[in-house]
Amino acid sequence: MTYLGEDIKKLGFGLMRLPVNGENIDIEQTKKMVDCFLESGFTYFDTAWAYAGSEDAIRQALVERYPRNKFQLATKNAAWINCKTREEAVAQFETSLKQTGAGYFDFYLLHNLGEGRTKFFDDFDMWNFVQEKKKEGLIRHIGFSFHSTPEELDEILSNHPEMEFVQLQINYGDWENPAVQSRKVYEVARKHEKPVIIMEPVKGGMLANPPQPVQDIFKNANEDTSFAAWAIKFAANLEGLITVLSGMSSIEQMEDNLSFMKDFNGLTKDEEKVLEEARIALNKIPLIPCTTCNYCAKVCPNNIGISGSFTAMNCLTLYGDKGAAQHQENWLVGGHGHQKAAECIKCGKCEEACPQHIKIRDQLENVTKKLG
């Protein structure tokens, strides 16, 4: 039995973390990455209205340079970001059409459903809106991305069987993580017979450079396989996939991903055992599970550099180098015009927006104690 997206190759180009030149996206390097990706036979590109500069960049690097039928383009609607009316939420779709110049979207997602965010899509009747746009030919396939509990996913899919696919965060680190519950949400999607797009297979880059105990496990198994390869292949090995998104930021990352995904035909039993051993080792290390999506930053009234603070704190936890962690905090927080963790007023808005369910206020307090 075939399913939507079965014929799409299982590596997608996630456009959230494109290469930069100074403060702006590096269009020329992005063009080279797009060319390399397409030349290798891969066709799925994933952007979003909320990814600053991304839709415009992919218009220049892809849409204006290739026939429209040679690729699939996905983008997303984040009705919970600064939308007070249905008109404002709907306007995101029109903005995306204009910024990408794509004419239509192969896949259009209601973005980051779960908890209080789902209510915006309900209140603004975005479910019917996307169906209308599908009838008009401006959307080929409708679905949503999701960060919450298996129970909530089950409820949404029961209420909206018209949704054709679901995008989920899945990686070996989160597979049995009680906060993310990757395995359980995946199983709910499959129960409803929805194909799945996987996001964050490398967990915001964290699994591309995992802690030393995890690195040792992978190196002992195969010295020539990159850590990112293990992570992406874990995700790509699951059934019912449309594709696995990798947020590649350089041509080197692109070439590495293509090298092992070009002819990927599934994991061996021995490889599955190695990944399970790595998962167990990783889950013994208490890191802050931030993926730098920065949804918290969009609602923070004090412009706290939350994700940068957490990246620095994880650096301290993993490597024990306070100087390096402080240097990272100075660059990622102050160097990007953000306030430090000590300026948090504990309003809690960040925690409502966080897909990872992080106790952000407590963690920021700990950052202040450990990094100053």
Alpha helices in 2-125 (DSSP H): 27-39, 54-58, 86-100, 118-123
Q: Using one digit for the tens of pLDDT, what is the confidence trace for 126-167? A: 999 999 999 999 999 999 999 889 999 999 999 999 999 999
pLDDT of residue 32: 98
- Report the share of the chain in percent with pLDDT over 70: 99
pLDDT of residue 284: 83
pLDDT of residue 319: 67
pLDDT of residue 355: 87
List the end-to-end C-alpha distance of the chain, in Å, as a whole number.
57
What does the mean pLDDT of the chain come to? 94
User: Is residue 228 scored above 70 in pLDDT?
Assistant: yes
Structural domains present in the chain: 11-282 (3.20.20.100), 295-371 (no CATH)
Q: Using one digit for the tens of pLDDT, what is the confidence trace for 63-120? A: 999 999 999 999 999 999 999 999 999 999 999 999 999 999 999 999 999 988 999 9
148 versus 187: the higher-pLDDT residue is 187
User: Is residue 286 scored above 90 in pLDDT?
Assistant: no
Q: What is the mean pLDDT of residues 268-275?
A: 97
pLDDT of residue 107: 98
User: Is residue 362 scored above 90 in pLDDT?
Assistant: yes
pLDDT of residue 299: 95
- Report the share of the chain in percent with pLDDT over 90: 83
DSSP assignment letter at 339: B
pLDDT of residue 314: 85
Burial 68-103 (b: 16+ CB within 10 A, else e): eeebbbbbbbbbbbebeeeeebbebbeebbebbebe
